[in-house]
Amino acid sequence: MSTVGGKPLSRIAIIGVGEVGGAAAFALIISSIARELLLVDINTTLRDGQVRDLSDVAYSSNSVTRVRAATHHEAGQCDIVVITAGSKSVLGQPNLERVYRNVSIIRNVVDAMKPIRQDAIVVVVSNPVDLATTLVLELSKLPQEQVLGAGTFLDSVRIRGMIADEIGVAANSLDVYVLGVHGDPQVVAWSTATIGGVPLDKSLQHGSQVDHERVAQECKDRSRSIIRAKGANPFGISSIVCSICASILLDKRNVRPVSCFRPGYGCCFSWPVVLGRKGIIRAIDVPLNNRERADIDETAKTLKATVTHVLADG
Ligand SMILES: NC(=O)c1ccc[n+]([C@@H]2O[C@H](COP(=O)([O-])OP(=O)(O)OC[C@H]3O[C@@H](n4cnc5c(N)ncnc54)[C@H](O)[C@@H]3O)[C@@H](O)[C@H]2O)c1
């Protein structure tokens, strides 16, 4: 880490400053956790406009964070690199076409950052996030604990909020995780959900229950409905990016469901881990029931097959 007057100069880079990258930059400036925020985009007109606009946020909020334009290579020298480069979700666009487009963007981004600082931590937001995180890990050659993806972190806070609203308990008294491969295959770990440490279904008042299938489906559909209504879904994910960066830079050691390398599967998908200054400190053992585990196993195998295919394509 570089220093200013003996104090650490923390730097975060955001690669791809469209809707999501721009909103993430806004959240990071307001939270004032890094000294410098470097913005990178192949669209340099957009990038420079974002720098000017977001600099005003820094001035008006008295943030310590200063914003500047940068290259991919400079981004690779930061403490944290957030990858939000990609193409906007277009509803109805063939999935495979979009996957190949985004895979090629991820390859370009990693290549352009090289040589990457050896202790940099990369946070992948671009979709398909688990495939993209696995590719960044493979292509960057960084240690496993330094590459993670936003994965189902947003889905997890969303479902927690939805249940909390339904049963009238504060969300931070509830523990429930969405795990596995982000998107349609994601799995809600109902068997480990608790309120104040008591299993969720046992702690509900007599006669009331949470409809697991309905809530899980509504949680999955939420992003699509936001994109249908306004073309992008930048705000929810930007607060997740900010939370992940704070956990890392401030060595918070909180447990977060993020996309991380799962050794038994050979690919990255969401699992609860302890996040700190060195990235993923350790994964938490989650005692899933057989059905939840089987669902995760199946989709992880499909993801691994896609990763192998994409890597073989060069
Ligand atoms: N993980 C999640 O929960 C989650 C949530 C929302 C969006 N996303 C994903 O985030 C990504 C960005 O979404 P968006 O709405 O901001 O899209 P956007 O089109 O508004 O922004 C993407 C930006 O990336 C830039 N870009 C493309 N290739 C680049 C490269 N090689 N280097 C640098 N910049 C490059 C583009 O110029 C553009 O400005 C998408 O992949 C989207 O699916 C993920």
- CATH code of the domain containing 265: 3.90.110.10
78's CB contacts (< 8 A; 6+ apart) are 11, 12, 13, 38, 117, 120
Residue 85 near ligand 1, beta carbon < 6 Å: yes
Closest ligand 1 atom, CA of 108? Answer: 31
Residue 46 near ligand 1, beta carbon < 6 Å: yes
Residue 180 near ligand 1, beta carbon < 6 Å: no
Same domain, 137 and 194: no
- In the block, which residue shows the tokens 């504060």? 170
Which residues partner with 259 through β-bridges? Answer: 149, 270
Strands (E), the chain: 3-4, 7-8, 11-15, 36-40, 66-69, 80-83, 121-124, 147-149, 174-175, 178-179, 187-188, 194-195, 198-199, 254-262, 267-276, 279-283
Would residue 108 count as lying in a domain? yes
d(CA 18, CA 22): 6
Same domain, 186 and 145: no
pTM, rounded to two decimals: 0.96
Handedness of CA 208, 214, 219, 225 (dihedral sign): negative
Same domain, 182 and 100: no
What value of ipTM does the predicted structure carry?
Answer: 0.98
Angle between helices 129-140 and 290-312 in degrees, nearest 10:
50
Same domain, 121 and 228: no
Q: How far apart are the first and last CA of the chain?
A: 33
Report the share of the chain in percent with pLDDT over 70. 95
Residue 17 annotated as part of some ligand binding site? yes
Residue 197 is classified by DSSP as T
Same domain, 173 and 134: no
Same domain, 165 and 301: yes
pLDDT in tens, 90-106: 666 657 778 888 999 99
Q: How confident is the model at residue 8 (pLDDT cuts 50, 70, 90)?
A: low
Task: Compute the distance from residue 285 Cα to the ligand 1 centre, in Å.
Answer: 32
Alpha carbon nearest to ligand 1 atom 33, residue: 41
Residue 22 annotated as part of some ligand binding site? no
Q: Which domain holds residue 224?
A: 152-313
Q: Tell me what the mean pLDDT of segment 283-290 comes to.
A: 96
Residue 258 near ligand 1, beta carbon < 6 Å: no
Residue 258 annotated as part of some ligand binding site? no
Would residue 283 count as lying in a domain? yes
pLDDT in tens, 220-249: 999 999 999 999 999 999 999 999 999 999
- In the block, which residue shows the tokens 């974002």? 50
Would residue 3 count as lying in a domain? no
- Domains in the chain, number: 2
Q: How confident is the model at residue 46 (pLDDT cuts 50, 70, 90)?
A: very high
Residue 55 near ligand 1, beta carbon < 6 Å: no
Residue 266 annotated as part of some ligand binding site? no
Q: Which region among 16-25, 68-77, 256-265, 305-314 has the lowest average model confidence (pLDDT)?
A: 305-314
The helix/strand count (H/E) of the chain reads as 10, 16
Nearest to 296 by CA among 272, 257, 270, 260: 270
Task: Compute the distance from residue 223 Cα to the ligand 1 centre, in Å.
Answer: 15
Mean pLDDT of the chain: 93
Task: Compute the distance from residue 281 Cα to the ligand 1 centre, in Å.
Answer: 28
Would residue 4 count as lying in a domain? no
Contact 261, 267 (CB under 8 A): yes
Output the domain CATH number for residue 89. Answer: 3.40.50.720
The pLDDT of residue 4 is: 53
Same domain, 87 and 109: yes
Same domain, 49 and 78: yes
Would residue 275 count as lying in a domain? yes
Exposed e or buried b per residue across 119-152, where buried means at least 16 C-beta atoms within 10 angstroms of its C-beta: ebbbbbbbbbbbbbbbbbbbbbebeebbbbbbbb
Q: Is 182 among the catalytic positions?
A: yes
